[in-house]
Structure 1
Amino acid sequence: MARDIQITFDCADPAALAAFWTEALGYRLQEPPGGFATWEQALEAMGVPPERRNDASAVVDPDGAGPRLFFQRVPEGKQVKNRVHLDLRAAPGLQGEARMAALEAEAERLAGRGAIRLQRHEPSPPLAAGHLIMADPEGNEFCLD
């Protein structure tokens, strides 16, 4: 039986990281519970104190096809390289210089939103098409592929 999955990010600022990934993936913030126009109203009604209202955030694929991303506040910072990471398919069907140009353009767009460029890996046919390694605003590595 296939299962739905959620990808969880431990982070310092769930709202900011959720905002970055909505831009990176074309996702949207998850809607507040029924009966509430905003998350602020829902959290107030639930009795969540103001200092705890950025403890978690979630983003979802507007088409419902991709996994939900959940961001939870943790006290410790990131310390080592991710063992699992996201690959953003930013140049599907492109090869060679056209592919790398598309990846570079996406890297520039995401850098404008707080991402950091880490490495460029050149194409080496037949198996490697070339990719860029990036980090989100909290240092979580991802690839533009």
Structure 2
Amino acid sequence: MARDIQITFDCADPAALAAFWAEALGYRVQEPPAGFESWEQALEAMGVPPERRNDASALVDPEGVAPRLFFQRVPERKQAKNRVHLDVRAAPGLEGEARMAALEAAAERLVSHGATRLERHEPAPPLGAGHIVLADPEGNEFCLD
């Protein structure tokens, strides 16, 4: 039986990290509850104090197909390499230099939005198509492949 999943990020600044991943994946911030024009308005009505209004944020796939991403504030910083990471499919169907050029363009765009470039892995046929490893603004590693 298939399950519906969400991917959760522990982070220091949910709104900022959600904005980065929205840019990286083409996602959008989840709409506020029915009857509210904004999250600020909804949180005010729920009695959430201003200092707690960035405790969480969520992104959804505009097509409604891919998993929801949830960002929650935690007090501790990232300590070590991720054991699970996202692969952002930035060059589907491309091979060789065309693939790496598309990955480089995607990497450059994400670096301009706060990512850090970590390393480039060259194509190594027959199984290695090449990829670029980045970190999001809070240091979570992910790959452009």
Segments ≥4 residues shifted beyond 6 Å: none
Question: Counterpart of 2:97 in 1: which secondary structure?
Answer: helix
2:125 corresponds to 1:125: yes
Matched residue type, 2:88: L
| Residues 74-85 of structure 1: pairs in structure 2 closer than 5 A | 74-85=74-85
Q: Deviations over 1:54-95 (max 9, x none)?
A: 000000000001000000000000010000000000000111
Q: In the aligned structure 2, how far is the partner of 1:97 from the partner of 1:39?
A: 44
Per-residue deviation, 1:131: 0.1
Match of 2:20 in 1: 20
| Residues 1-145 of structure 1: pairs in structure 2 closer than 5 A | 1-145=1-145
Relative to the length of structure 1, the TM-score reads 1.00
RMSD of aligned alpha carbons = 0.3
Q: In the aligned structure 1, how far is the partner of 2:12 from the partner of 2:135?
A: 15
Q: In the aligned structure 1, how far is the partner of 2:8 from the partner of 2:123?
A: 31
Q: Deviations over 1:13-41 (max 9, x none)?
A: 00000000000000000000000000000
Per-residue deviation, 1:53: 0.1
Question: Counterpart of 2:99 in 1: which secondary structure?
Answer: helix
Q: In the aligned structure 1, how far is the partner of 2:62 from the partner of 2:90?
A: 18
Question: Counterpart of 1:132 in 2: which secondary structure?
Answer: strand
Unpaired runs of 5+ in structure 1?
none
Question: Counterpart of 1:103 in 2: which secondary structure?
Answer: helix
Corresponding residue pairs, total = 145
Identity %: 83
Question: Counterpart of 2:142 in 1: which secondary structure?
Answer: strand
Unpaired runs of 5+ in structure 2?
none
